[in-house]
Structure 1
Amino acid sequence: MTIRTLFATRFSQTQLDDAALLDELAEACRDLAQQDGAGRAWSRAHGYRGYTSYASLNDLPARDPRFADLVRHLNRQVARFADACAFDLGGRKLKLDSLWVNVLKPGGTHSGHIHPHSIVSGTIYVEVPPGAGALKLEDPRLPLLMAAPPRRADAPEDLHTFIYAEPGPGSIFLWESWLRHEVMPHAGKGERISISFNYR
């Protein structure tokens, strides 16, 4: 019998090994959380436990050189990921479309969603207290599985219905933007700081 694995979904997990830049990014994110009144208001209005610049600021790399330093690193990571996905970009490169800060307080979560109008999405984790919650990734075929039985506990990772990617400080996760994902509840203490982004 020949068994082939078809329709692979790529997910990249790398590490930013630059403690000084992580410290600078943590400071930059906290600065924004204090100064961005529109972002705080949006977070309150939408039940976001903490602060996000998602709906308020769209110029962070131009606004603050600390974010520009991060983007230079992300550009390289995303280019490598696009190559691993065998994207035919016609000689062009993916470009950053949006980048936003998340300062999540204990109890905070983010329900399942995708990132429309983008090709690659991702998150870099700046500060991750113990128990801060994993990124939960969903098998994109889930709505079609119908009568499929559950998988055994010893099933290999590529057969799991959900994958839980545990971040640490400096973790960079990349995935194709159509992949449904959610942020599990922050059950730790202190703030979990991350920066999310889209490329198209």
Structure 2
Amino acid sequence: MTGQVVGLFDTPVVVDELPNAAAINAALKPLILARRAERPAGVTISNIGGWQSEHDVADWGGEPIQHLLRHIIALADAHCVDIISPGAPRHRWFTDIWANVSPPQASNQMHTHPGAFWSAVYYVDDGSGQQDGSLGGELIIEDPRMPMILMTMPNLRLRSPSGSVHEPQLKMKVRSGRIVMFPSWLSHGVVPHQGSRERISIAINLLAVPA
């Protein structure tokens, strides 16, 4: 066949490792566990079987959280541009941040973050110690265009310009120290992890507001 395939509407998903992660995680873990002990009820939004803090981690997370936020904001700035003023962006980032503690078999329902520009998750402790994501609990990111296509022919897939098969869901392996950042309109969730201990993560939304 001679038809040319042109890829449209590329969606960036950024995967990075936090500098000095071991030291940051060693500081963050006791802070998060102490907060859970103080407020064991937490909040329930998308979490199933785990604890979620209020959205106030920046108030009690100290320098470790500020270190993480500086890195997340730098990633956000590196992967978007103000097309009217590329050299001097006319926005600032408002951060919304919370902590999660998920025992084995805990999960998160599929959901989105309306109003935010970027969403990110950082893994303080992946709950396994394997550091290779082999014990499940993947972050699932879903292509919002695919459910309608899959209704009538659930095993039919599109091919990308490179010839690879386009899957409706992306499974992101997790490990301690890893950051995954994606546009906030992408539906995402977490499947139950099979680790031997609690998983601890930090979730961040970045909202772009006029400077």
> Could you say whether these structures have the same fold, taking a TM-score greater than 0.5 normalized by the shorter chain as the test?
yes
* Contact 1:106–1:132 (CA under 8 A) maintained in structure 2: no
Decide whether aligned partners of structure 1 residues 125 and 6 sit closer, same or farther in structure 2, where only a CA change above 3 A counts: same
Alignment of 1:180-195 (within 5 A): 180-195=187-202
Alignment of 1:11-30 (within 5 A): 11-18=13-20, 19-30=22-33
* Structure with more of its chain in helix, by fraction: 1
* Contact 1:135–1:181 (CA under 8 A) maintained in structure 2: yes
Aligned length: 189
Decide whether aligned partners of structure 1 residues 28 and 122 sit closer, same or farther in structure 2, where only a CA change above 3 A counts: same
* Structure with more of its chain in strand, by fraction: 2
Which runs of structure 1 show a deviation greater than 2 angstroms over 4 or more consecutive aligned residues? 45-48, 87-90, 146-152
Determine which of 96, 100, 103 is the counterpart of 2:101: 103
What is residue 164 of structure 2 aligned with on the other side?
A: 156
1:94: how far off?
4.5
Alignment of 1:121-160 (within 5 A): 121-130=119-128, 131-145=135-149, 146-148=151-153, 149-151=155-157, 156=164, 159-160=166-167
Question: Which amino acid letter does the alignment assign opposite residue 126 of structure 1?
Answer: V
Runs of 5+ consecutive residues of structure 2 not aligned to the other structure: 129-134
**Identity between Structure 1 and Structure 2 (%):** 27
What's the TM-score, normalizing by structure 1? 0.83
Q: Which moved more, 1:89-98 or 1:62-71?
A: 89-98
Decide whether aligned partners of structure 1 residues 88 and 164 sit closer, same or farther in structure 2, where only a CA change above 3 A counts: same
Instruction: Kindly provide the CA deviation profile for residues 80-138 of structure 1, in whole angstroms up to 9, marking residues without a partner as x.
Output: 1224xxx5485234413310000001110111111111111010011013325000111
Partners of 1:123 and 1:180 lie apart in 2 by: 14
Decide whether aligned partners of structure 1 residues 94 and 132 sit closer, same or farther in structure 2, where only a CA change above 3 A counts: farther
Question: Which amino acid letter does the alignment assign opposite residue 144 of structure 2?
Answer: P
1:162: how far off?
1.0
What is residue 80 of structure 1 aligned with on the other side?
A: 78
Partners of 2:75 and 2:144 lie apart in 1 by: 24
What is residue 6 of structure 2 aligned with on the other side?
A: 4
Partners of 1:119 and 1:156 lie apart in 2 by: 28
Task: State the secondary structure of the residue aligned to 2:74.
Answer: helix
Q: Which has the larger radius of gyration?
A: 2
Decide whether aligned partners of structure 1 residues 82 and 28 sit closer, same or farther in structure 2, where only a CA change above 3 A counts: farther
1:46: how far off?
8.3
What is residue 49 of structure 2 aligned with on the other side?
A: 49
Decide whether aligned partners of structure 1 residues 2 and 20 sit closer, same or farther in structure 2, where only a CA change above 3 A counts: same
Question: Which amino acid letter does the alignment assign opposite residue 157 of structure 2?
Answer: R
Report the RMSD for the aligned CA atoms in angstroms: 2.5
Task: State the secondary structure of the residue aligned to 2:26.
Answer: helix
What's the TM-score, normalizing by structure 2? 0.79
* Contact 1:100–1:195 (CA under 8 A) maintained in structure 2: yes
